[in-house]
Amino acid sequence: MALLVIASCQLMVVLDITIVNIALPDIQRSLDFSTTSLAWVVNAYTLSFGGLLLLGGRTGDILGRRRVFIFGVLLFVLASLLGGLAQNAGQLLAARALQGVGGAIASPTALSLVSTTFREGPERNRAFGVFAAVSAGGGAIGLLAGGVLVEWLNWRWVFFVNVPIGLLIALATPRWIRESERHPGHFDIAGALTSTVGMVLLVYGFIRAAQEGWRDGLTVASFAAAVVILTVFILIERQSRQPITPLHMFADRNRAGTYGMMLSLAAAIFGMFFFLTLFTQNVLDFSPLQTGLAFLPVSAVIAIGAGLASRFLPRYGPKPFMVVGGILAASGLAWLTLTDVHSTYVGSVLGPILVFSLGMGMEFVSLTLMALSNVPTHETGAASGLLNATQQVGGSLGLSILVTMFGTASRNEADKQVPRFLEQATPAERLRFERTGDLPPPWADEVLTAGVSAAFTMAAIFAVLAALIAVVVIQVRPSDLERLGGKGLGPV
């Protein structure tokens, strides 16, 4: 029951990243978002979530993880209610940012509670397997849930649905989860602010580059400011007695390698969900519900991969699953680059996402165990927060890079397709194009497919990078295998 409560919270927080994607067209029409500002419905959540995860993990260490977990869940519930009731764009963006804050408090505390609730060895391996499967598969479940809610009710229910779920989690937590020991300390507010602002500027720079080009003044200024502020963040962390990001954690090569792999793989999985959603709805003409159903196999296969990894980790260690998982993920993404306007779901999409999902299931269990291995009990909140932060920051930053690749390839393809369209267009079609600047199908499908293929190429490179890090950096010692098998148990 403790695992059910913890995993339910993680599922609620993670699926919120994708459940809103399906509702974006309806939100845009309802609240009069511009196309550019609509992207911030997603970014307002992921950036506040990723930027404050480290502070959320530290808060649980200091104030008690169960208490902080409940507060984070209730804050997420309140923000969800406000989002569903929003009457204009500003109110919705504020609610999305507040949702991210609630998620940043609840999510790392949930991962820490897994460490303190389950004994190290097979019991904790299975718990981490469930947690990792939920974390990786929540995105696909979010797309399905979003499709159902938007098609059967309306877009506001992608927010309202969190309210009863969150309240049940908050009510069940005191009964099934024991409070953790509190560790005195202080909050590194300066570190939290500089890390969040720095990442927001970095992501904005990539998004701006996709729209206006790399020579745009605001693009260059965003990157320059991001470098300065993130440098200040590192200096603050080096001088702080209790930093939000204990830099000594990176001294362990396995943990440093794990964080690097998570950055790369998060970029790959965020990109896969985002661009396949575009492809299925715009090229394959899937409805929101059909799109959600198309991603349903992802969650099932991720669960299979996570189950295999958690079962055989004590025998073989995490490194083989890290390497094989990265190779499978890269292979699936490389396969997706072959999609074109004549592709079908069964012939061109289903196979690649199954291969990709199997690899990601193996990866998330291995990365979670390696990141929290040999971490002192009083730092499990910081370690789990850092792992979650690398996932969210890697996803946001990686997606912005992939969007830049998408934009460049789309513009290049549009330069080819516009003359072809003008040769065949009727006077009415020419007039509509001059007024809107939008190509109609099938020319628009060619442009979109070219951009999506380029984005998948970059995502595959991210997955290859993760596999290379596993091969070169990760080292599993005999003592690690003993702990995974439940022998020689000591502190976390």
Q: Residue 342 is encoded by which pair of tokens? A: 């004549």
Cβ contacts of 251 within 8 Å, gap of 6 or more: none
Rounded CA-CA distance 387/8 in Å is: 19
Q: How many residues does the chain have?
A: 492
Task: Report the predicted TM-score, pTM, of the whole model to 2 decimal places.
Answer: 0.73
| pLDDT tens digit sequence for 338-382 | 888 888 888 888 999 999 989 988 887 788 777 766 666 666 656
Mean pLDDT, to the nearest integer, of 117-146? 69
Q: Which of 439, 434, 442, 431 minimizes the C-alpha distance to 415? A: 439
Rounded CA-CA distance 431/425 in Å is: 10
| pLDDT tens digit sequence for 282-324 | 888 888 788 878 888 887 888 788 888 877 877 777 888 889 9
Mean pLDDT, to the nearest integer, of 124-148? 71
Percent of the chain with pLDDT strictly greater than 90: 14
pLDDT at 232: 92
On the question of a cis peptide bond just before residue 376, with omega within 30 degrees of 0, the verdict is: no
Rounded CA-CA distance 356/335 in Å is: 10
Q: Any idea what the Cα angle at residue 71 is, between residues 68 and 77, rounded to 5°?
A: 145
104-108, 184-188, 291-295: least confident range: 184-188
Angle 35-63/65-85 helices, nearest 10 degrees?
A: 160
What's the per-residue H, E or C state across 141-209?
Answer: HHHHHHHHHHHHCCCCHHHHCHHHHHHHHHHHHHHHCCCCCCCCCCCCHHHHHHHHHHHHHHHHHHHHH
φ/ψ of 86, rounded to 5, equals: -60, 140
90-94, 189-193, 329-333: least confident range: 189-193
pLDDT at 284: 86
Cβ contacts of 215 within 8 Å, gap of 6 or more: none
| pLDDT tens digit sequence for 470-479 | 888 887 766 5
Look up tokens 């380029």; give the residue: 454
Tell me which amino acid residue 387 is.
L
| pLDDT tens digit sequence for 413-458 | 888 877 887 777 778 777 777 776 677 777 888 888 888 889 899 9
User: What does the longest C-alpha to C-alpha distance in the chain come to?
Assistant: 79
Task: Using pLDDT thresholds of 50, 70 and 90, give the confidence band for residue 80.
Answer: very high
CB 375 within 8 A of CB 383: yes
Give Cα 301 distance to the centre of its chain.
18
Give Cα 450 distance to the centre of its chain.
24
Q: Is the pLDDT higher at 236 or at 212?
A: 236
With 70 as the cut, is the pLDDT of residue 6 above it? Answer: yes
Provide the 8-state DSSP code for 215.
Answer: T
Task: Using pLDDT thresholds of 50, 70 and 90, give the confidence band for residue 234.
Answer: confident
| pLDDT tens digit sequence for 19-63 | 787 777 778 778 877 655 666 787 778 777 777 777 777 777 677
